Amino acid sequence: MQLDGPVTARQARPAEDARRPNPFIKIVLLGLTVALAIWAAFPLIENEAWIGLAILAATTAGLLHLYLTPRHVPAKYLVPGTILLIAFQVFPVLYTASTAFTNFGDGHRGSKAEAVVAIQTASVTQVPGSTQYALTVATTGDPATGPLVFLITDPATRQVRAGDAAGLRDISATVNSAGRVTAADGYTVLTTGQASLRSKEITALAVPTGGGAIRSSGLSRAYEGKAGRLYDESCDCVRDTTTGRTWTADEGLGSFVAEDGDRLAQGWKVTVGLSNFTRVLTEPAISGPFLRTLVWNLAFALASTGGTFVLGLLCAIALHSPRVRGRILYRVLLILPYAMPSFAMLLVWRDMFNTDFGLINNLFGTDVDWFGGATSARFAVILVQLWLGYPYMFLVATGALQAIPGELSEASRIDGAGAWAAFRKITLPLLMVALTPLLISSFAFNFNNFNAIYLTTEGAPFPADNPANGATDLLITYTYRLAFGGAGAQYGFAAAISIFIFVIVAVVSAISFRRTRRQEEVYS
Amino acid sequence: MRIRTAGVAAALTCAFLVAGCGGGDKDATTAAKASEAAPSGELVIWADDKRSAALKPFADKFGAENGVTVKVQAISKDQQTTFVTASQQGSGPDVMVGAHDWIGNLVQNGAIDPVQLSAEQSGGLAPNALKAVTFNGQTYGVPYALENLALIRNTALAPKAPATIEELVAAKTKASEKLCVQVGQNGDAYHLYPLYSSAGGYLFGTTVSGDYDPKDLGVGKPESVAAFKKIATLGEKGSGALKRSITPENSIATFTAKKCAYLISGPWAITDVKKAGIAHDISAVPGFAGGKPAQPFLGVQTFYVASKGKNKALAQEFVTNYVTTPELAVALYQAEPRPPALTAAFDQVKGGDPDLQKFIDAGKNGIPLPAIPEMAAIWDPFGKAEAAVIGGADPARTIESAGKTISAAIK
């Protein structure tokens, strides 16, 4: 409906330039955008996320304005990319960075109010010696909206009582063999379907009694329960109703803490400032093996990238020569490892390196404990990387080689250069201009190549005195273990570490790109 | 003239399209409202692939009997994390099916509610299953199946059940491997625990009320050093009964390929063993001669009521009053042969499957797998210490540093 105005505007100037994109496509795309916005609005309204809704409305209105008016031509080209960039790059980075300043993780996922609810609900126990009643949910009004009443039947006496927030009173009613009320004067019995629609109210209803309150357990049974722990707003603490022990809220930790340091398990999310970052830098278990891991990580990324590049390039050059017969067949064969899912291949390689049952030891008649020694394990993972990665380098090198004009090497031959000199002085520099950005991205990928380690060695071998850091651990697998291995998931801590890793990769990439730019200036 | 016609046609098309779009949205809105107003609640159950298939007919039956819609959704991987994250966002299920050792983590994240069982309902459950789902004095779910490790042996290769692990090692069989128990490059605490406990080690002490006490960590204590010294004698530098080349992936396959006479595994291995047509028998995991009894961990598969479910009353109704009936437990047993926790269901199926009673007997000494959240800190360091010791590392130094890592993580 929002599109009405602009449509009439277009009607006034029907003579459109033939080069303009088809208005049909435009209307469909904008219609889809509006539909998407409306679809996204419902959950936002439901969760009362007004800021999100305002952003959504403003973005949609802005998009409609932009594409339905003839002005702002450059923005028409820039906006879609910018929106995608914000949604898929900027927002995740900002979210990660903001998480790094919190204690978000297991035991600290929700708000304080949610923690209080969880503590109180978890502490409700059946009053010792009390009876369990057969329950019938009924109402004094309309089944969908009327006030709820619990009709409870004592299993021994079959006496029926009606209970609501005001308390219990005896009534007379018809009871079936299971003790549940089928009809009672002045009350409408709810069917399971009707009752299930009012689930929240049923769970919330507690009929006060002397020793506690009658609560529902499902829709057909009720019990007399008593909350063992209650939140007290005056002291901002949780009090045990039997022992009187208190746990006071600590807003710095996001936990209820007793005087002796005992913490309740259910905490909440709080901002912890820089403590996740200082923990990375000061905890000896993390900072101790950090340098060693970083060196191996760099070596792994360099060896994976450099090794696959050299191997791929050699294959590409060999198959570039027109004298090779059956080039297409060879190329297909060489690309095969690239066509197989690396996930499965990594697992297959892991089993091939098994000491007793692995293909490699069986084939060569050796008895090498591949993943048991630091050197052999590192050699093994790089070998796997080489096998998985060279087809990609072979593909891009083949493409780049074909793009280099044959006249150049011909001219160098006329000038008297040998094959090696021609390759080194002419072909390789031209190749590097095209391939260096790919090498840098490949380096950045391998620097964080989680699967390559986690699906093969899982970081093994581990020194006997440090089960947290293994010889083949990359920073990413090491930190994954730190953040998710020990005390459950610690997202805040993991986010802080990922920021450190991001800085390292960014620095390495920035240096490499600067060098590439210089190279391009030389050769272009 | 032609241009004008084209323009008008284009404008008309646009108008129709816009109307179409608007109309479509309106329809969607009315449809959504209609489904909200339909007189029936909805119950969403999450389970893994196998169990959700077995649950489906029962869920439909429950739905038809009670006039509600029941949706069973299969979560194939990382069920616990998926459940906790989805619950927090408000998109989780009403009922979750999973292992009992999740309880500690689920409770600290406020993801599950205790259930109130009647005396007769709890009386119908195996006592150790009920004990496993009890946490901080509360029952946190309804157990439906039990599992524990046992010694499965190929009776063609090893006719007699060994009384001790030494007897097992000394037995001469035609198989190339002595024992298939998964270790792998990074160890496996769950499968090692029976031997560790037999050698005198423990993970957590117990409080007066019988709960696990995270403040009393047994890893790194002198008992654990002594236990690991005994385990080292079975390692690669010792008798070679335990080796890192037997991994979680190949242990059962090696046994079914008749390269092992003995396999330490649970009920989940039986399907493969039967499929391979191996004559087998099941007995308790043997302990060290003169040591304590070997205690396998008891695991219990459980139905949980989600705290943040949209239909908690219906979820409680389903879990407490429907899961406690034998029909459902029998169907779940048929989906995967683990002994049912419901005594009535167990009695129904044990006649057709002699292995069930043997597994239960093998688990007689068992202790519930700790459900406290601190257990998460044990698995990785303990497993790695195991792998290192089996590979020949110094037991005392290895287990003491594992203890340090664990206590640093627990704090």
In this structure, chain A runs to a length of: 524
CA distance to A44, A78, A80, A81, per residue, from A84 (Å):
20, 10, 6, 5
Average pLDDT over residues A491-511: 89
In which residue ranges of chain B is CATH 3.40.190.10 found? 42-147+299-367, 150-295+372-410
Q: Provide the 10 A C-beta neighbour count for residue A391.
A: 22
**According to the model, what pLDDT value does residue B196 have?**
96
| Identity of the residue in B17, B311, B373 whose CB atom sits nearest the CB atom of A106 | B373
**According to the model, what pLDDT value does residue A521 have?**
65
Which residues of chain A are within 8 Å of residue B81 when distances are taken between CB atoms?
489
Shortest CA distance to A40 belongs to which of A60, A22, A20? Answer: A60
Closest Cα in chain A, distance from residue B13 (Å): 8
pLDDT confidence bin for A280, thresholds 50/70/90: confident
CB contact under 8 A, B393 and A219: no
Smallest CA–CA distance from B91 into chain A, residue: A43
Question: Hey, of A36, A199, A256, A491, which one would you mutate to test binding to chain B, going by the most B CBs within 10 A of its CB?
Answer: A199
Helix (H, G, I), strand (E, B) or coil at B96: strand
Residue A386 at interface with chain B, using a CB cutoff of 8 Å: no
Residue with tokens 């969403």: B44
CB contact under 8 A, B380 and A195: no
- Facing residues of A82 across strands? none
Please write the tens of the pLDDT for every residue from A39-76: 999 988 988 889 999 999 999 999 999 988 888 889 98
Superfamily of domain B150-295+372-410: Periplasmic binding protein-like II (3.40.190.10)
Write the DSSP string, A361-407: HHHHT----GGGSHHHHHHHHHHHHHHHHHHHHHHHHHHHHHHS-HH
CB contact under 8 A, A465 and B380: no
Helix (H, G, I), strand (E, B) or coil at A222: strand
Encode A464-508 in three state secondary structure: CCCCCCCCCCCHHHHHHHHHHCCCCCCHHHHHHHHHHHHHHHHHH
| Identity of the residue in A15, A35, A197 whose CB atom sits nearest the CB atom of B7 | A15
What is the rounded distance in angstroms from the CA atom of residue A356 to the CA atom of residue A340? 26
What is the rounded distance in angstroms from the CA atom of residue A44 to the CA atom of residue A40? 7
- Asked if the bond preceding B337 is cis, omega within 30° of 0, the reply is no
Please write the tens of the pLDDT for every residue from B358-410: 999 999 999 999 999 899 889 999 999 999 999 999 999 999 999 998 998 88
Tell me how many helices (H) and strands (E) chain A has: 21, 15
What is the rounded distance in angstroms from the CA atom of residue A106 to the CA atom of residue B319? 25
Lookup: tokens for B227? 């236990």
Which residues of chain B are within 8 Å of residue A132 when distances are taken between CB atoms?
116, 118-119
Average pLDDT over residues A478-489: 81
| Identity of the residue in A124, A266, A485 whose CB atom sits nearest the CB atom of B110 | A266
Helix (H, G, I), strand (E, B) or coil at A56: helix
Chain A to chain B, count of Cβ pairs less than 8 Å apart? 243
CB contact under 8 A, A122 and B381: no
What is the rounded distance in angstroms from the CA atom of residue B405 to the CA atom of residue A28? 59
pLDDT confidence bin for A194, thresholds 50/70/90: confident
Smallest CA–CA distance from B177 into chain A, residue: A356
Task: Name the phi and psi angles at A228, rounded to 5.
Answer: -80, -25
Residue A221 at interface with chain B, using a CB cutoff of 8 Å: yes
| Identity of the residue in A31, A351, A355 whose CB atom sits nearest the CB atom of B21 | A31
Which residues of chain B are within 8 Å of residue A358 when distances are taken between CB atoms?
245
**pLDDT higher for A410 or B40?**
A410
CB contact under 8 A, A11 and B116: no
Write the CB contacts of B117 (distance below 8 Å, at least 6 apart in sequence): B139, B142, B320, B324
CB contact under 8 A, B245 and A354: yes
**According to the model, what pLDDT value does residue A407 have?**
85
| Identity of the residue in A10, A109, A196 whose CB atom sits nearest the CB atom of B11 | A10
- Averaged in consecutive runs of 10 residues, what is the pLDDT profile of chain B (411 residues)? 40 40 38 45 90 88 89 91 91 94 93 91 92 91 94 93 94 88 93 96 90 92 96 93 92 94 94 93 95 94 94 92 88 87 92 91 93 90 93 92 89 72
Chain A 152-171, residues with CB within 8 Å of chain B CB atoms = none
CB contact under 8 A, B394 and A23: no
Spatial contact of A272 and A102, defined as CB atoms under 8 Å apart = yes
* Pick from A336-345, A352-361, B19-28, B196-205: least confident: B19-28
CB contact under 8 A, B110 and A115: yes
Q: What percent of chain A has pLDDT over 90?
A: 44
Which residues of chain A are within 8 Å of residue B402 when distances are taken between CB atoms?
467
Write the CB contacts of B363 (distance below 8 Å, at least 6 apart in sequence): B128, B146, B148, B149, B150, B284, B296, B298
Return mean pLDDT, chain A.
87
Residue A116 predicted with pLDDT over 60: yes
The identity of residue B321, as a single letter, is: N
Residue A118 at interface with chain B, using a CB cutoff of 8 Å: yes
Average pLDDT over residues A268-296: 88
Which residues of chain A are within 8 Å of residue B17 when distances are taken between CB atoms?
24, 27-28, 31
| Identity of the residue in A7, A265, A356 whose CB atom sits nearest the CB atom of B11 | A7
Smallest CA–CA distance from B4 into chain A, residue: A14
Query: Domain B42-147+299-367 carries which CATH code?
Result: 3.40.190.10
CB contact under 8 A, A458 and B312: no
The 8 Å CB, 24+ separation contacts for A231-234 are A231/A116, A231/A119, A231/A120
Name the class of domain A285-523.
mainly alpha
CB contact under 8 A, A217 and B320: yes
Residue A20 at interface with chain B, using a CB cutoff of 8 Å: no
The identity of residue A300, as a single letter, is: F
Please, what is the end-to-end C-alpha distance for chain B in angstroms? Answer: 84
Sheet containing B280-283: give its strands across: B177-180, B260-265, B150-154, B280-283
Shortest CA distance to B216 belongs to which of B393, B56, B372, B401? Answer: B372
Would you kindly state where each structural domain of chain A is located, as residue ranges?
4-99, 110-123+228-268, 126-226, 285-523
Closest Cα in chain A, distance from residue B294 (Å): 26
Chain A 256-285, residues with CB within 8 Å of chain B CB atoms = 265-267, 285
